[in-house]
Amino acid sequence: MTQAGHRGAGARAGGAGATVDLTRLAAMDARKATLLLKGVREAALNGGRPPLAPRADIRDSWQRMLRTGVDPDRDRRSGLLSPGELERRRNASPLAGLLPLLREGLVAVSGPDTGSVRHIMVVADADGRVLWREGSPAVLRKADGHGFEPGADWTEDTVGTNGVGTALVTRRPVQVHSAEHFVSTHHSWTCAGAPITDPRDGRLIGAVDVSGPVVTVHPATLMLVSSVARLVEAELRNRHFAELARLRSVAAPVLCRVGGRALAVDRHGWAAAVTGMAPVDRLPLPRSFGAGRVLVPALGLCAVEPLPGGWLVRLVDDEQRAAAAASRLVLDVSRPRRWSLEVSGALDGWTQELSPRHAELLYVLALHRDGRTAAELAGDLFGDPSRTVTVRAEMSRVRRTLGGVLAHRPYRFREEIEVGVIAPDDPADLLPHSTAPAVLAARRRPPALGPRPGA
């Protein structure tokens, strides 16, 4: 097949700037599609002009692999988890109780070893470790040959671009076909993966992936995997609502007795019942949260007592709360998948893990200590100053979580608070999931944020 023929088969409309189109590739002969993608990969890795541009998520992943030194031609594997550690992670995973839902949505569709359609379902934790696999026995054997087995490390840093590791980095569903895999030994493989987030605390808890030989590629697989991942998150949310209802039934008579300003929260900080104060949705709980006097974000100093399934939180007097006010915060965006905000005051401190969007917002505010209007933030995040409604909604959520740390009109960190930022060693690795214009600009030209905290 000529290069012109390849371009017509695999490209989106658009001429010289045409990009790989997976729908058209899936309709091609598998061998020819693989050869086309190999040409794209070869040109991209050697600085040449590829016949088609790689898709954006694939291109960005390849660039990360080149920066971190992953060998494109060598199958690198880390040691498997020990049986004991694998079992510990399985038992601790919130996904353990949702395997029947995953199995019903994915294995029943992709697992039977019938006809030419054969896949497996893979479930990994947030560290990219494979916890469970199910599906076609023949494909499971092929997966063993790739090291794609329980306990294996399937992060990008270890095995290159793939449906598990790349989805965990980007926080978006991703499909990786044949030579879109960075490491050449995986070119006989196709996969589609989606991240799963715990709705109780916004924490990334893992990824689900459907994989198989290249002949099994289908563009609808990504939609299927994405839909099942969202169903899993919805089921986690429903179970959480039931837990809150049980806590509310226990807490209601207790709150009637204690009086004053108090609330009952579950172990993730979600409020089940409130008395003497304005309702709140959720409190970000410090990592060291427990019974006693605790500095709680948004409330200040509180007296905490255990309840079945949660905590009773009572606000102490205003004078003691003022003495515990925040004076310093450190925004850590140095890691590829987890970002946090550490806040400290005169009496205590707390750390809050951040969602991808809130990490972007707080990073932009750290760049602009004098503050940003809603329109300016909309331009920073979306490239569209008119999207002020979205920005105000997100900032309202952040301010409910962070309490006295943030001011508004314009949005900014309070002047009396010392702000530090821990950025990645390589600016190109800053918030890899983000497409915000302000973040893209910071990757190209790192801003002067002062010395790293603790330096």
User: Which run of H or of E encompasses 204?
Assistant: strand 203-213
User: Between these two residues, 181 and 294, which has the higher pLDDT value?
Assistant: 181
Pairing of strands 203-213, 262-266: unpaired
Cis peptide before 410 (omega within 30 of 0): yes
Would the CA dihedral through 298, 301, 306, 312 be positive or negative? negative
d(CA 76, CA 252): 56
Euclidean distance between CA atoms 218 and 195, whole angstroms = 19
Helices (H) and strands (E) in the chain, counts: 16, 16
pLDDT (average), residues 170-196: 95
Asked if the model's pLDDT at residue 5 lies above 60, the reply is no
Question: Residue 273: which pLDDT band, with cuts at 50, 70 and 90?
Answer: very high
261 burial type by CB count under 10 A (0-12 exposed, 13-18 middle, 19+ buried): middle
Report, in angstroms and rounded to the nearest whole number, the Rg of the chain calculated over CA atoms. 24
Is residue 385 scored above 70 in pLDDT?
Answer: yes
Region 299-323: mean pLDDT is 78
Give the per-residue pLDDT at 16.
Answer: 41
Gap between the Cα atoms of 382 and 373, Å rounded: 14
Beta strands 271-275; 174-177: pairing state: unpaired
Q: What are the tokens at 103?
A: 């199995």
Each residue's pLDDT tens digit, 45-77: 888 888 889 999 999 999 999 998 999 998 888
The kind and range of the H/E element at 420 are strand 418-422
**Which of 6-10, 241-245, 347-351 tops mean pLDDT?**
241-245
pTM over 0.85: no
Phi, psi of 382 (to 5 degrees): -120, -5
Q: Return the residue matching tokens 């019942």.
A: 273
Q: What CA–CA distance (Å, rounded) separates 175 from 211?
A: 10
| Tokens 């314009």, located at residue | 410
Q: What is the mean pLDDT of residues 400-408?
A: 75
Q: Tell me the C-alpha distance between 296 and 348, whole Å.
A: 9
| Residue 436 reports pLDDT greater than 90 | yes
Whole-number Cα distances in Å, 268 to 114, 230, 281, 295, 431: 44, 20, 11, 16, 25
Paired with 190 in beta bridges are 177, 212
Q: What is the mean pLDDT of the chain?
A: 86
Confidence of residue 107 (pLDDT cuts 50, 70, 90): confident
DSSP 8-state code for residue 431: S
Tell me, what's the pLDDT at 117?
A: 45
* Residue 23: burial class (beta carbons within 10 Å; 0-12, 13-18, 19+): exposed
pLDDT tens profile 345-366 = 765 667 788 889 999 999 999 9
User: What share of the chain has pLDDT > 90, as a percent?
Assistant: 57
- pLDDT over 90 (residue 182): yes
pLDDT for the residue 325: 60
Contact 453, 420 (CB under 8 A): yes
Strands (E), 221-316: 262-266, 271-275, 292-296, 300-307, 310-315
Position 84 scores a pLDDT of: 97
